[in-house]
Amino acid sequence: MTALLGVELGGRRVLVAGGGPVAARRVQSMRVAGADVVVVAPQLCEELAELVEDRVVRWRCGEVHESDVDKAWLVHTATGDRAVDAQVAAWAEARRVFCVNAGAADAGTARTPATTQVGDVLVGVVSTGPADPGRSRAVRDHLAATLRAGGADLRGRRGRSDADRSGGRRQGRVVLVGGGPGDVELLTLRGRRALAEADVVVTDRLGPRDVLAELHPDVEVVEVGKTPGHHPVPQHEIEQILVEHAQRGRTVVRLKGGDPFVFGRGGEEVLACREAGVPVEVVPGVSSAMSVPALAGIPLTHRGVTTAFHVLSGHEGLTASARETLLDGATLVVLMGVSMLPAMVADALAAGVDPDLPVAIVENGATPRQRVTRAPLRDVVARAADVGVRAPAVIVLGRVAAEGLLDG
């Protein structure tokens, strides 16, 4: 019966008998583990020769001898000659040194699993009966896909309380995750994995809310969502929540709609964490500025129409650069601009922007409630009032917003 065993190879000698491509693959994985690799072979393939030249591994040119096994912690045979591999395996067994026999896996005392690493979790798959590397790889790939999609609870267990058994404090951290415009399927794989590792999730009202139902019941969810004109949890308190949970040794995910660095105040939260000495990571998200128009069939750039676009926060009103964008024929994308729409339209018309310029307003993008309202610049305010446009919405001004642009 074969049993899986994690072996620490850092700084320990591994003998690799053979200099071909199979040996090269094994050497690469052993070097990642920090092993002291010695290759014994009459000649080397190009990949191994480069590693030797870079002094990543050591090479003894010649046939493998029994004495080569003496100081090894692990032996891997890959000579391509079954008889030689069997002899090396016998020498290793006589010295009680584990040996992976590439020539006949069943005859060795160890097997190399098909592995995949997701974050700090390493998963290995190996057959307990006759060696079946194809099946092991297939199972590994399925597990890897599940883990990368956040399909397993990846939270650390040791040290879940403030102190672990050694008396030390678990290192907490913060991960800012861009959740995209709202559809869970537009959340990145890295973002899903971060959520699977989270002890605490600090979330907005926008973004992929449905993913919260997939979290383990033990995960603490902190709601800090803002609505127009109503900010129940001020930004400085949000930053304090992130820092305090991380300082208690927890993995904290700050789940945001869109991308953390596109009007998401992610930069402020990164600075707050760094000032407090808390490790922080940013997982980019699918920005609403680009994805919501795309979901509504509006390209921000289109050959023969425009080759540039400008993204504006509606809170700023129509800035000088935004006016120039419209006058130059580029696309203007406005986030959080519903309440400022009348003022922006008035400014644009006063600046000489074409009154017939197409405008599209996409409400609740990437959700079943998505709705697109179109009108020329001169009429868009009245049209928006007639249909009752409400936030959240993305406003697109430019020729790309014309209805039927992509038809035919």
**For the residues of 236-300, what is the DSSP string, one character each?**
HHHHHHHHHHHHTT-EEEEEESB-TTSSS-HHHHHHHHHHTT--EEEE----HHHHHHHHTT--S
Beta strands in 104-148 (DSSP E): 114-118, 121-125
pLDDT of residue 41: 95
pLDDT of residue 116: 75
Rounded distance between C-alpha atoms, residue 280 and residue 301, angstroms: 34
Share of the chain above pLDDT 90, in %: 65
| Angstrom distances, CA of residue 76 to CA of 92, 359, 379 | 10, 66, 75
pLDDT at 1 over 60: no
- Most confidently modeled of 128-142, 195-209, 262-276? 262-276
Q: Region 327-340: what's the mean pLDDT?
A: 96
pLDDT of residue 191: 94
pLDDT at 115 over 90: no
Structural contact between residues 80 and 20, judged by C-beta atoms closer than 8 angstroms:
yes
Rounded distance between C-alpha atoms, residue 141 and residue 147, angstroms: 10
Structural contact between residues 344 and 334, judged by C-beta atoms closer than 8 angstroms:
yes
Q: Are residues 329 and 312 in the same domain?
A: yes
Read off the CATH number of the domain in which 323 is found: 3.30.950.10
pLDDT at 158 over 70: no
Tokens of residue 240, six digits: 């304090």
Asked if the structure places residue 219 within a domain, the reply is: yes
Q: Are residues 298 and 392 in the same domain?
A: yes
Asked if the structure places residue 343 within a domain, the reply is: yes
Q: Are residues 264 and 301 in the same domain?
A: no
Mind listing the pLDDT tens digit for each residue in 237-286? 999 999 999 999 999 999 999 999 999 999 999 999 999 999 999 999 99
Q: Region 335-359: what's the mean pLDDT?
A: 96
Q: Are residues 371 and 335 in the same domain?
A: yes
Asked if the structure places residue 140 within a domain, the reply is: yes
| Of 199, 204, 259, 347, catalytic | 204
pLDDT of residue 102: 82
pLDDT of residue 276: 97
The pLDDT confidence band at residue 166, using thresholds 50, 70 and 90, is: very low
Assess whether 256 carries a catalytic annotation.
no
Q: Indicate the pTM of the whole model.
A: 0.69
Asked if the structure places residue 101 within a domain, the reply is: yes
Helix (H) or strand (E) holding 27: helix 21-32
Rounded distance between C-alpha atoms, residue 310 and residue 325, angstroms: 7
pLDDT at 343 over 80: yes
pLDDT of residue 29: 81
Q: Are residues 236 and 204 in the same domain?
A: yes
pLDDT of residue 162: 46
Residue in the block written with tokens 């990949």 = 47
Q: Are residues 234 and 246 in the same domain?
A: yes
Q: Region 336-361: what's the mean pLDDT?
A: 96
pLDDT at 121 over 60: yes
The parent domain of residue 137 ranges over 113-148
Mind listing the pLDDT tens digit for each residue in 370-392? 999 999 999 999 999 999 999 99
Picking from 286, 301, 324, the residue at the C-terminal end of a domain is 286
pLDDT of residue 167: 47
Cβ partners under 8 Å of residue 164, min gap 6 = 158, 170
In sign, the C-alpha dihedral spanning 49, 54, 55, 57 is negative
Q: Region 292-315: what's the mean pLDDT?
A: 95
pLDDT of residue 3: 61
Rounded distance between C-alpha atoms, residue 218 and residue 209, angstroms: 17
Asked if the structure places residue 77 within a domain, the reply is: yes
The pLDDT confidence band at residue 168, using thresholds 50, 70 and 90, is: low
Asked if the structure places residue 154 within a domain, the reply is: no
Rounded distance between C-alpha atoms, residue 81 and residue 200, angstroms: 55
| Of 36, 164, 226, 354, catalytic | 226
Work out the number of other CB atoms within 10 angstroms of the CB of residue 133: 15
Assess whether 81 carries a catalytic annotation.
no
Q: Region 105-122: what's the mean pLDDT?
A: 75
Structural domain total, the chain? 4
The pLDDT confidence band at residue 54, using thresholds 50, 70 and 90, is: confident
Cβ partners under 8 Å of residue 348, min gap 6 = 318, 323, 326, 357, 377, 397
Picking from 286, 302, 321, the residue at the C-terminal end of a domain is 286
Asked if the structure places residue 217 within a domain, the reply is: yes
Q: Are residues 310 and 322 in the same domain?
A: yes
Q: Are residues 331 and 276 in the same domain?
A: no
Q: Are residues 184 and 122 in the same domain?
A: no
Q: Are residues 344 and 377 in the same domain?
A: yes
Work out the number of other CB atoms within 10 angstroms of the CB of residue 87: 16
Mean of all residue pLDDT scores within the chain:
89
pLDDT of residue 164: 45
Q: Are residues 52 and 69 in the same domain?
A: yes
Work out the number of other CB atoms within 10 angstroms of the CB of residue 212: 16
Read off the CATH number of the domain in which 223 is found: 3.40.1010.10
Strands 173-178 and 251-256: parallel
Question: What does residue 366 show for φ and ψ, rounded to 5 degrees?
Answer: 65, 20
Read off the CATH number of the domain in which 87 is found: 3.40.50.720
Q: Are residues 338 and 307 in the same domain?
A: yes
Rounded distance between C-alpha atoms, residue 227 and residue 208, angstroms: 16
pLDDT of residue 230: 57
Picking from 286, 317, 336, the residue at the C-terminal end of a domain is 286
Rounded distance between C-alpha atoms, residue 233 and residue 235, angstroms: 7
Rounded distance between C-alpha atoms, residue 256 and residue 187, angstroms: 11
Asked if the structure places residue 363 within a domain, the reply is: yes
Rounded distance between C-alpha atoms, residue 363 and residue 293, angstroms: 10
